[in-house]
Amino acid sequence: MRRLFALLIALSLPLTAAAQSAEPPNPPIRATIQSQIDAMAADDFAAAFSHAAPNIKGMFGTADRFEMMVRQGYPMVVAPREVRMLELRTVAGNLWQRVLMVDGAGATHLLDYMMVQTPEGWQIGAVQLLPSQGVAA
């Protein structure tokens, strides 16, 4: 399922050649991501799923399927020991929030969260796990 998710992102968002621009920190975006992480840490995947954008909700359909994908493909986001919001960027017209996470075993991970503004507020439209060689918490 993680491969399917990554493939959908790769097909829909040509990031390699896209121009990037830095954005000022956006507290509502950061709060959305942190709320989803907090919900997963509390084993409340229904609440975590509520922070997903319509495309993600349509792809997985239920909070149970979403949970399965997260646990299999992104285990580091379930109860990380540390979460640090890094830069917010615009890439190909989309807002991406970079997040550094330290998992329970002490490994460091970099993730990019694509944020989508909806009538319900900011929601998470995609997550990419990035190479983290040389990244220290």
11-30 per-position pLDDT tens digit:
344 444 456 788 888 999 99
Q: What domains lie within the chain, and their CATH numbers?
A: 2-8+22-130 (3.10.450.50)
pTM for the whole structure? 0.82
Helix (H, G, I), strand (E, B) or coil at 35: helix
Structure tokens at 5: 């998710």
Please work out, in degrees rounded to the nearest 5, the angle formed at the alpha carbon of residue 122 by the alpha carbons of 120 and 128: 135
The number of residues in the chain equals 137
Select from 43, 129, 127 the least CA-distant residue to 79.
Answer: 43
> Rounded to the nearest 5 degrees, what angle is found at the Cα of 96, between the Cα atoms of 69 and 22?
165
Q: pLDDT digits over 78-110, tens only? A: 999 999 999 999 999 999 999 999 999 999 999
List beta partners, residue 30: none
Name the burial class of residue 114, with classes exposed (0-12), middle (13-18) and buried (19+) by CB atoms within 10 angstroms of its CB.
buried
> How do strand 94-102 and strand 82-91 relate by DSSP bridges?
antiparallel
Structure tokens at 66: 């979403």
